[in-house]
Structure 1
């Protein structure tokens, strides 16, 4: 009798469970059909699989749990229905994932979403949703990811987000929210609230977000300074604060964030120097700080230490001093924007190592000297802007090698001579040369005056005369050098001790520079500057008065004079090597007087040939 009773009770329980499962399944099915009705906005061709002939677990975008056969995910991204969210969504109580990004939704977020206590991922981004985030969502305590960026949501960011201890990603950017909360879960990994109307200060409580890897507060109305507490976010990788009203100095504690790879501080009111502690951020790949009031010199070992740096943008500030020479350490640098500052000096030779450069923009500064020919070896360049500076001399012909160049702006300098023909110089829409009144030639579309044309015989005489002047100048150097060494060899001074002074004197005569010039400092001396020169690079260091260019047509016709130019360059390299060898730091490493005299006689013999 007892066994029969137990069997009866089991049968009742089984039937009750089956009925409950059937009712739950029917609830999910009806909820989905109601969702479809609102979602597709009357489109008869939308979601054709959502019909009575298929089990709802096989409908497009629907996932069910294996054991209970309840809806656990609704994922229908990238549709163009333009519907609304049905309140019936709240009846899918086993939902863990909702992904309706980019489906042109409009209307409010239904408060019934608060019934979804198992919900972990909610992605409603890139729609046209309006109104406020419903308070009932405080019950969704399992949420780990909330993405609502690119909508028209308004009001305050709910303070109850701070009670969601599982939340690791909160993306509310590009809406109309008006305030910023400081009490968020310390488990948060990404906080993205850019492009809203958030005002006030960045709260000191930001230090509690110790697991934060990305902080995006750009394009808001934030004021005040960057709090020093931000230096405690040791896991921070990305920091975006651009487009606010932040002021004061960039804090030194930024150097504590050694995991940083991207910083954007542009379009604020920051002032003062670039903090030297940035040199600690050796994983930096992108650094933006344009459109601020930053000033002063940029010291070496700041960005030069960040050997993975890809983009550096500091335009529209008030930086002074030379462009840091150690930017040449940045082998991966592709974008360098330093325009609209007060940089002085010449383009550093170190940049010749930045072979990955795509955009080099140095316009509107106080940079002078010749346009270096090594720019022609940066074959990845697509944009080169040197406008509104004080560059002089001729346009280096090597720039025709830049076959990928789309924009070349050399306007408003003091350039002279013949414009090269070929490469980008044949594309009149890609180049700008205005404001250089002494340029001539080039393709006819440039409308430049023709360069003076002389008969071949006169050209020979003119070029020969210039070469004679050049040889006399070199001869003067040679005579001075020999006289100097003979004076030293006569015993009036110590030969070993004074070889250093002789070497420096020779380097001064060749380069036209002095060891005390502003371009030289702790990391670059006249000796090191000349030591970098090679046969191809000698023209980058030598005094331009010792270099007299040959007309390109003349070069083709007059082989003998081309040979003379090559010989002169070789002689200049020899002079530079003597000067470097004589100015070594330790006396026992310096060139002897005897060896110097032999080298000078060899140079003289070469010039006499």
Structure 2
């Protein structure tokens, strides 16, 4: 009985204890996620520029686990992941982020965050990944971050971080696998404590200001795959222990101050090594044995001894079946070029061995490297001839063989290299004539054949390569004959040098078409006659040398109006008459006129005799500049009055139109235009819009192809637009502006008023036709990346000209693809100035009233600046906005009115949210095919340059199309940035 009572008591006690345990468990359960909710709201309150409405879902109406970018754990509903990457968000990161105590993953990459990294992140002991890349975080890396002892990945690349890398990180981040803090402003030594992180797989500190020696204990990182210490100020020797980390696949040490020699057994100790770049250091000695490589860049060091066996290692590299690129340039390699170079992998795309002491011949077996894109052997001691076999390398784009001792003629087979963009053969012992077959290289942008004893005439085919833009250098040869008229095809050429040859005859007037020229050197020939007046169109010229020829006549006054001209050499010719005193002539150090015995006047410092009969000249000038214009003006006014009285039924502005036209453009009759267009046949119609119709025609006895825009006078404001366009174009000249040939303001055969403008005909139609082809278009056409770059730079140059080089400045007012016309060489010409306006001289650059001015928004939907919709005046910044949209359309091939752009998403936002890392996802798919084709034969650096170019271009379009006018760029800065982007693209083949 007692036992049963005792048992009952024990059971009751157990139940009571169990209930207490349950109560205790209930009282001390895990807190709710209210702390997380408050922390997120605090974070959201400090965010700025949230165009995608990321934080609009962050409110009390929904569970926080459903908020955008937020992920919760299943058990306790606490925030474990916060991903706000690539949302174009700005602002600072709230310290309350440290209250998300269950957070394992924090990703804020690709945004506009600024301010310091909150040290409260150090409270997040569960954090495994912290990604802050591509923002503007500043200040130091907080030492408190070392408390995140479970961190596996830290990526803060491309920010503005300063100071030293905290040594504490190397003592506490014992699980770290990825340390990426490249492209910041970090300084100091690289902490030796990082060598404690045995789990590390990636170290990337590229592009900082770190200095000193590399710690020896980095050799303890036996799991390391990537080591990138490039572009810092490291010095001393690289610890040998690093070259014993057998897991290493990529070692990047370029642009530092390392010295010493490289271990010769790297290929053995690093069996997985695929990428090895140590360019631009002070390494010396011999080349190590390397295997399994994909690319190798040892350029700009002191490697090699100058002895015979320096390049024997190339034979070993023939076993590297995946090798694509070799860079050995600017070292001290000597000896004979091994014939085994022709036995390298057929995957090779780049061989750069320039700037050494390599001798021997170029083996004919080079034809085996069928995928070669870049072959740079310049500045060596190579002998023999240029192998005909090089012409079989159909993928070759860059060929540099200059500054060697190559002999013989230039192989005609080079004309087979139709993809070639850069060819340099200067300073060799070559001889003979220039093969006309080189004219087949229609993609050349640079051609250097100076100082190689060339003889004979300059083939016109060479001057028909319209893509030549960087330079054409044929100086120090013995070329003879006249300079062919085809020189006018070089409209994009910047540098042209044919000095010290035997050219004769007159300077061709067609040279005036080369309006991009900045340096022109014609000295040391036998040119005769006067300087053509047409050269006044060379508005970009900076240096002009015509010395030591047989030129005569007076020095043209227009030379003093070339605003960029800094250096002018006309010495040792037969010039006579008065020397101008303005422009380049106002600076004695910028001109050279010696050896012309009949010159007078000019600056006193030139010590030339005074010009005779100054008084007579002044009287003549008075007659020419005052009396004659006044008399002519009186006659013109009288004629206008007679016309006004004879045609009273015409409006007052029509008389002003006739006066304007008569003064500036030749008039043509309706009958002539009707005949030229076959009575305005529908078969000749090439365009249509609210203004009327555009017809192609053959004008005059020579049948010149023209485009005739017939104004629809029934359309309100059309006649005003006609006047505005003529006013805008009458005093401006630029190679990228459409040219008016003649006009017609008359009546047709039915007695009805008729107005038309006749332009030069553009064989390749409009940019609109190329970007958005109609389904019934017979021939599929597409624009390459370089063609799009050239076209958009052409358009930008035209706008820069009318904005900054016209008095008064002009606003176009209707920039869009259909108003960009392309000639036979795909050079862009900006047209349709029907909405153009002149600007006042006030600081605000507001538009003056013109015949086309009227109330209401003018322009085309999608391209109109936002401020125009709120009554803003036409302005330069309005043009910049339209240009930005046009640029984005060219590279994405999406109209701003595309159906995908709705609910707040615009072409501008579409592009902005892709910057910088997702640009390749938004560009035209046709460009992607081109880039992919290039990638298949390019090394990583080349791909990076292409992407860099596209990022810069899209970034320019985004800044130009900002909603606020004050945030937009000026067109002069736009041109500069786009030209730099093009230079990046064109130079992408150098490794």
Q: If the length of structure 2 is used for normalisation, what is the TM-score?
A: 0.41
In the alignment, structure 1 residue 180 sits paired with structure 2 residue 337: yes
Task: String of CA shifts for 1:241-282, please: whole Å, max 9, x gaps.
Answer: 000001111000000111100001010011111100011100
Q: Residues 201 and 225 of structure 2 are in contact (CA less than 8 Å); yes or no, is this contact kept in structure 1?
A: no
The equivalent of 1:164 in structure 2 is 320
2:271 corresponds to which of 114, 117, 120: 117
The equivalent of 1:87 in structure 2 is 240
The equivalent of 1:70 in structure 2 is 223
The equivalent of 1:351 in structure 2 is 511
In the alignment, structure 1 residue 202 sits paired with structure 2 residue 345: no
In the alignment, structure 1 residue 371 sits paired with structure 2 residue 528: no
Distance in 1 (alpha carbons) for counterparts of 2:549 and 2:623:
31
Distance in 2 (alpha carbons) for counterparts of 1:224 and 1:52:
53
Distance in 1 (alpha carbons) for counterparts of 2:273 and 2:201:
21
Distance in 1 (alpha carbons) for counterparts of 2:398 and 2:430:
19
The equivalent of 1:129 in structure 2 is 283
Task: String of CA shifts for 1:454-480, please: whole Å, max 9, x gaps.
Answer: 544x987xxxxxxxxxxxxxxxxxxxx
Q: Residues 466 and 491 of structure 2 are in contact (CA less than 8 Å); yes or no, is this contact kept in structure 1?
A: no
2:295 corresponds to which of 128, 145, 151: 145
Distance in 2 (alpha carbons) for counterparts of 1:79 and 1:264:
33
In the alignment, structure 1 residue 57 sits paired with structure 2 residue 200: yes
In the alignment, structure 1 residue 266 sits paired with structure 2 residue 419: no
Task: String of CA shifts for 1:368-410, please: whole Å, max 9, x gaps.
Answer: 1001122222110000000000000000111112111111000
- Decide whether aligned partners of structure 1 residues 554 and 265 sit closer, same or farther in structure 2, where only a CA change above 3 A counts: farther
Q: 1:299: Cα distance to partner?
A: 2.1
Task: String of CA shifts for 1:63-114, please: whole Å, max 9, x gaps.
Answer: 9xxxx99211110112223211222123221111111001111111013422
Q: 1:589: Cα distance to partner?
A: 6.2
Alignment of 1:507-526 (within 5 A): none
- Decide whether aligned partners of structure 1 residues 317 and 561 sit closer, same or farther in structure 2, where only a CA change above 3 A counts: farther
Query: How many aligned positions are there?
Result: 430
Q: 1:119: Cα distance to partner?
A: 1.2
- Decide whether aligned partners of structure 1 residues 453 and 61 sit closer, same or farther in structure 2, where only a CA change above 3 A counts: same
- Decide whether aligned partners of structure 1 residues 173 and 58 sit closer, same or farther in structure 2, where only a CA change above 3 A counts: closer
Alignment of 1:179-258 (within 5 A): 179-181=336-338, 182=341, 183-258=343-418
Task: String of CA shifts for 1:221-258, please: whole Å, max 9, x gaps.
Answer: 11111011111100000000000001111000000111
- Decide whether aligned partners of structure 1 residues 50 and 267 sit closer, same or farther in structure 2, where only a CA change above 3 A counts: farther
Structure 1 unaligned regions, length at least 5: 1-25, 31-43, 461-550, 564-573, 575-587, 591-609
Q: Find the residue that maps to 1:130 and give its secondary structure.
A: strand
- Decide whether aligned partners of structure 1 residues 292 and 393 sit closer, same or farther in structure 2, where only a CA change above 3 A counts: same
Bigger relative contact order (CA 8 A; separation at least 6): 1
Task: String of CA shifts for 1:508-534, please: whole Å, max 9, x gaps.
Answer: xxxxxxxxxxxxxxxxxxxxxxxxxxx
In the alignment, structure 1 residue 307 sits paired with structure 2 residue 464: no
- Decide whether aligned partners of structure 1 residues 562 and 288 sit closer, same or farther in structure 2, where only a CA change above 3 A counts: farther
CA root-mean-square deviation: 2.9
In the alignment, structure 1 residue 103 sits paired with structure 2 residue 276: no
The equivalent of 2:821 in structure 1 is none
Q: 1:156: Cα distance to partner?
A: 1.9
Alignment of 1:279-358 (within 5 A): 279-358=439-518
Distance in 2 (alpha carbons) for counterparts of 1:562 and 1:119:
85
Q: Residues 101 and 124 of structure 1 are in contact (CA less than 8 Å); yes or no, is this contact kept in structure 2?
A: yes
In the alignment, structure 1 residue 451 sits paired with structure 2 residue 628: no
Q: 1:557: Cα distance to partner?
A: 5.9
The equivalent of 1:46 in structure 2 is 189
Distance in 1 (alpha carbons) for counterparts of 2:331 and 2:622:
63
Q: Find the residue that maps to 2:394 and give its secondary structure.
A: coil
Q: Residues 203 and 226 of structure 2 are in contact (CA less than 8 Å); yes or no, is this contact kept in structure 1?
A: no
Q: Find the residue that maps to 2:408 and give its secondary structure.
A: strand
The equivalent of 2:591 in structure 1 is 431
Distance in 2 (alpha carbons) for counterparts of 1:364 and 1:452:
31
Q: Residues 250 and 274 of structure 1 are in contact (CA less than 8 Å); yes or no, is this contact kept in structure 2?
A: yes
Distance in 2 (alpha carbons) for counterparts of 1:122 and 1:109:
12
- Decide whether aligned partners of structure 1 residues 86 and 250 sit closer, same or farther in structure 2, where only a CA change above 3 A counts: same
Q: Find the residue that maps to 2:560 and give its secondary structure.
A: helix
- Decide whether aligned partners of structure 1 residues 454 and 354 sit closer, same or farther in structure 2, where only a CA change above 3 A counts: closer
Task: String of CA shifts for 1:272-329, please: whole Å, max 9, x gaps.
Answer: 1110001110001000011110010012122313434431000000000111211101
Distance in 1 (alpha carbons) for counterparts of 2:590 and 2:489:
30
In the alignment, structure 1 residue 559 sits paired with structure 2 residue 628: yes
Q: Residues 541 and 564 of structure 2 are in contact (CA less than 8 Å); yes or no, is this contact kept in structure 1?
A: yes
- Decide whether aligned partners of structure 1 residues 51 and 226 sit closer, same or farther in structure 2, where only a CA change above 3 A counts: closer
Distance in 2 (alpha carbons) for counterparts of 1:163 and 1:562:
87
Q: Residues 199 and 223 of structure 2 are in contact (CA less than 8 Å); yes or no, is this contact kept in structure 1?
A: no
- Decide whether aligned partners of structure 1 residues 410 and 553 sit closer, same or farther in structure 2, where only a CA change above 3 A counts: farther
Distance in 2 (alpha carbons) for counterparts of 1:589 and 1:190:
54
Structure 2 unaligned regions, length at least 5: 1-169, 175-186, 207-220, 633-665, 667-699, 703-991
Distance in 2 (alpha carbons) for counterparts of 1:175 and 1:388:
40
Distance in 1 (alpha carbons) for counterparts of 2:547 and 2:631:
32
The equivalent of 2:438 in structure 1 is 278
Q: 1:444: Cα distance to partner?
A: 1.4
Q: 1:52: Cα distance to partner?
A: 6.9
Distance in 2 (alpha carbons) for counterparts of 1:319 and 1:272:
10
- Decide whether aligned partners of structure 1 residues 451 and 62 sit closer, same or farther in structure 2, where only a CA change above 3 A counts: closer
Distance in 2 (alpha carbons) for counterparts of 1:555 and 1:411:
31
- Decide whether aligned partners of structure 1 residues 345 and 54 sit closer, same or farther in structure 2, where only a CA change above 3 A counts: same
- Decide whether aligned partners of structure 1 residues 429 and 562 sit closer, same or farther in structure 2, where only a CA change above 3 A counts: farther
The equivalent of 1:467 in structure 2 is none
